[in-house]
Amino acid sequence: MARKMFAFTALAATLFAAAPLPAAAAPPSGLQEVMFVGNNWAGTVDVIRPSGGYTKLGGLTVVPDLDVRLRDIYLNPIKLAYFLGIRSGPGEGHDQLVDDMYTTPDGTALVASRPSLADVISIDLRTGLPKWRFPVSGFRADHMAVSPDGTHVAVSASTSNTVHVLDIATGRQLGSFATGDKPHENVYTDGGRYLWNMSIGEVNTDLDAPGWDWTKGNRRITVVDTTTFRTVRTIDMRARLDAFGRRDLSNAIRPAVFSPDGAKLYFQVSYFPGLIEYDVATDKVTRVRTLPKNPATSDDRTTFVNDSRHHGLAMSPDGSKLCVAGTMDDYATVVDRGSLQEGTLVPASKPYWATVSADGRDCVISESGADQVSAISFATGRRVATVAVGDHPQRVRIGHVPAGWTGPVAR
C-alpha cells in the first residue's frame, strides 16, 4: 500500500503540477482584450471591457444558422426528443443556445458550444457568419476549455460521455476520450500537457435524496495525456470524501480551480453550499468549508437548478482569494484561501459563473436571474460594477477581438 501511495505521489507531482501564473501580458498586436458573456437562452454574446468600467463594446449572435439547425432537429424524432428534453430539463423551459466560448489566437473568430443544438460553432467576428461547425457525439454539448497556447479546444459531449478535442482554427477533431457519466468541467494543467474532465452524473431527475444517489451514475475525474488522449488517472472523490468524514456530500464535481502552483484543487459539488479543498500530491480531501445559506432558499434538493446549489468558482491571480457564486442562495462572496473564511455576502440573482477580470483585481459573476454581470473586488469583497446583458447569462470568458471592434459588419 505504501509503495502504491508513493507511486501516486510521484505521478501527481509530475503530471499535475502547474507553473505559477504569469503576469498579465499585453494583447497581441492589432488585438484588444475583451470579456465575452454568453447569454444561454438568447443565443447571443455580449462583449464588454474586461476590467475597469466594464463598458459594453458590442455583441453578436451565435445562432445565425438556427433555422437550418431546427429543421434538421424537427425532421429527426430522436434528435427532437433530446432537444425537447433539454428545453424542459436543464433549460428550465428554454432552449440552451450558447454555453461556453473562446476566441482563436488571432482574434478573428469566436468558438462556442451550443447545448440544445449539440455542436460547436466558429463565428467570424467580422461578418458574424459561421466558419465551421462540429456536431458532437450524442445530443448535447456542454462546458469547454482552451489549451494554454489557444490552439485546441475541448468540449464535453454530455449525453455520450465523451470529450472531443478540436483544432480551434479549423474544427478538425484531434482526438477524443471517454469520461464518466455526463462530462462537465474541463481544465488543462501542466502547460497543456494534461486535461482534467469532471463528470457530474445525471442531474435532470428528482431522485435527489441521498438514498437515491446510486441512480446518478459514474461520477469521476478523468485525466488524459493530451498528446495521446489516453487516460493516465481517474479519481472518484467518493472515497476521498468518505475518508474525510463527509459521506453526506455528493462526489459530483462542479466548477473547479487549481491553485497557481497546482498543489491544491478547489471545487464545488452538487447540493452543497460551500467548497472543498483537495491536495493533489497526497490524493486527499484536506478541508471542507460550508458557506452561509440564504434563509429564503429551500433545502428541498429537487428545487436546485440541475442539482447545483453553488455553481461558480474563481481564484485571484496570486492565489490568496477565492470567489464563490452561491447560485441558489442568491449571493457571491470572496473567500480568504488561508482561512476559508467568507467575506461580505454580495446579493446577486442566481449567479451562475465566476471568472477573473483581465487586470486580476476583480471577480466577475454572471447573474442569470437578473440578466447582468457584476464585478466584485478581490481586495474589498464588494461590488464595483454591474453591466446589463442578454437573457440568462452563464459562462464568462476573456478573449480577444480586433482593435476597434464593435460587432459584425451589417450584411
| CATH number of domain containing 203 | 2.130.10.10
In a domain, 143, yes or no: yes
Q: Residues for the chain: how many in total?
A: 411
> Has residue 76 been placed in a domain?
yes
pLDDT along the chain (411 residues), means of 10: 44 49 62 98 98 95 98 97 95 96 97 98 97 98 97 98 98 98 97 97 90 93 98 97 97 97 97 98 98 96 93 98 98 98 98 97 98 98 98 98 87 48
As a whole number of angstroms, the distance between CA 200 and CA 231 comes to 18
Give this prediction's pTM: 0.93
**Are 335 and 268 within 8 A, CB to CB?**
no
* 28 within some domain: no
Q: 411 lies in a domain?
A: no
Is 106 a member of any domain?
A: yes
CA distance 134 to 173: 8
In a domain, 21, yes or no: no
Give pLDDT, residue 280: 96
pLDDT for residue 28: 76
Give me the number of domains the chain comprises. Answer: 1
Residue 359 lies in domain: 2-16+33-400
State the Cα–Cα distance between residues 365 and 351, nearest whole angstrom. Answer: 6
Q: Residue 387 domain-assigned?
A: yes
In this predicted structure, what is the pLDDT of residue 26? 65
Q: How far apart are alpha carbons 18 and 191 in whole angstroms?
A: 7
Per the domain annotation, does 255 fall within a domain?
yes
pLDDT for residue 3:
43
* Of the candidates 279, 284, 327, 277, the residue with the CA atom closest to the CA atom of residue 304: 327
CA distance readout (Å), 261 to 6, 22, 29, 160, 264: 20, 11, 29, 33, 8
